Chains A and B, each alone.
Chain A
């Protein structure tokens, strides 16, 4: 456990844990409402914020947060009003955000696209003390929203029309999900990078739901996968010179594959247990055929 001794590694591990918790925690609602790629879009928009941060010599983290919040509010407005060709409007927003980022960073004194590198792909070793404070504050906000309002967010993400009739403030909650997703992108930016952040929001949820039947269990397992893979990637990065962001994302995909392989026999066993609990045979009783035995003559 020698890696715990260095200050930069302590910061990196704390940042990794926070990202491992928050990204799947908000990602599950995005997956539930079938907006799995929203995190990717926010990541593109956040690039303009990073560029603006360099240009104005302020914190890129907070500028990225501000710009991506503006971006998600526009996305939500498009969703409300411009139902026709909403996908085109979103595409313009995403790529406009990316182009804006590249443009602004080149306009910044002494800035070049090379500065973007650590934001695009993450750079754990350069997480500073002040970055860490920002990450902690934002992660706290994300955790309070995603856990504290889980029933409301579940209802709105499951069935917006029904949620309205339960009297929930649907638009406010939709905006809150979007703003929380923007905060998560900003938190994860330094760890996995803007281009890979969406993977950490979506893949742990996709992996978890291979095994689960309930939302609560999916939430818990997705967060567990998130924390395990971010920690795994960070620690690996200490020993081996490989990019941590890419390592983390590949680990989540590995988790997805393993869980998918376990899923089929597990589902079969559950079906059998459910059938025996209900007193039904697991297979159809075809006259002249012994259950469990394959058809002999074809």
Chain B
């Protein structure tokens, strides 16, 4: 994709990052690295700081200490946002005015469009993004008319519209029905196969588990664990559960078998 970022080089790097919300410390010096081609899950209980960590990466939450780098560039000087696709927590995306699925997904293409003009290639990219999440047949429907899972698929299509190399997703599976979860997992797998790097905030590993190379667990704003995804419990631990994890090396994530 981009020669400036070789395999194994960090696409996201947080070093000793601290952040406060109000006067309450939420991040107390965390290190987090996502390397090219890696799928990293950020786990933790509510209030552990996982959403805040992601929001320091996109600049929504200011950091009070430490460094944040995206594609090797300090966050403040990073301008190449078309390379980043972001899926926020599903709270904000319904405005006070009706908007169609296409209109919402098109705003994800603005980072590639010059002066906000959508050319033919841009409209095609929007269409492709909708196809990827299986929402092309709902392109002209109002987003208000969608179910929670369909809505989430639209937000992921919006992030994919700029054809990003790095996907950042905040709780993409929260409140999503089973059918949509499967489509989302399939979409994500296709992106990873195509070479995308992914940082996911998750409440639990769930159906995305087979995709995840590494898990970072936060507790009270500190990194508790950084390595292979934590031992599966509950139904994932049951015999017969298809749980394939070639935990070989952080630097060379194995793709074969894992993604097919």
Contacts of A151 in B (CB 8 A): 106-107, 110, 113, 116, 118
Interface residues of B in 74-112 (CB under 8 A from A): 79-82, 84-86, 88, 92-93, 95-100, 103-104, 106-108, 110-111
In Å, the complex CA distance between A158 and B88 comes to 12
Interface residues of A in 23-73 (CB under 8 A from B): 28, 31-34, 36
Tally of contacts, chain A with chain B, CB under 8 A: 100
Contacts of A161 in B (CB 8 A): 55, 58, 60, 86, 88, 92
Contacts of A157 in B (CB 8 A): 95
Residue-by-residue, is A117-157 near B (CB-CB < 8 Å gives 1, otherwise 0)? 00000000000000000000000000000000111101101
In Å, the complex CA distance between A28 and B107 comes to 17
Report how many residues on chain B are interfacial, defined by Cβ distance under 8 Å: 37
Residue-by-residue, is A185-202 near B (CB-CB < 8 Å gives 1, otherwise 0)? 000000000000000000
In Å, the complex CA distance between A209 and B143 comes to 13
* B100 x A214 contact (CB < 8 A): yes
With contacts A151-B116, A165-B86, A218-B98 taken as known, whether A158 is within 8 angstroms of B93 at the C-beta atoms is yes
In Å, the complex CA distance between A162 and B89 comes to 10
Contacts of B52 in A (CB 8 A): none
Partner of A214, one of B55, B58, B103: B103
* B110 x A152 contact (CB < 8 A): yes
Partner of A162, one of B97, B103, B118, B158: B158
Interface residues of A in 255-298 (CB under 8 A from B): 274
In Å, the complex CA distance between A209 and B96 comes to 10
* A166 x B142 contact (CB < 8 A): no
- 29 A–B pairs (Cβ distance < 8 Å), ordered by A: A32-B96, A33-B95, A151-B110, A152-B110, A152-B116, A155-B107, A155-B110, A158-B107, A159-B88, A162-B86, A162-B88, A162-B92, A162-B158, A163-B107, A164-B59, A165-B81, A165-B168, A166-B108, A167-B81, A205-B97, A209-B97, A209-B98, A213-B98, A213-B140, A213-B141, A213-B145, A214-B142, A215-B98, A274-B141
| 5 closest A-B pairs by CB | A167-B81, A155-B107, A213-B142, A165-B86, A32-B95
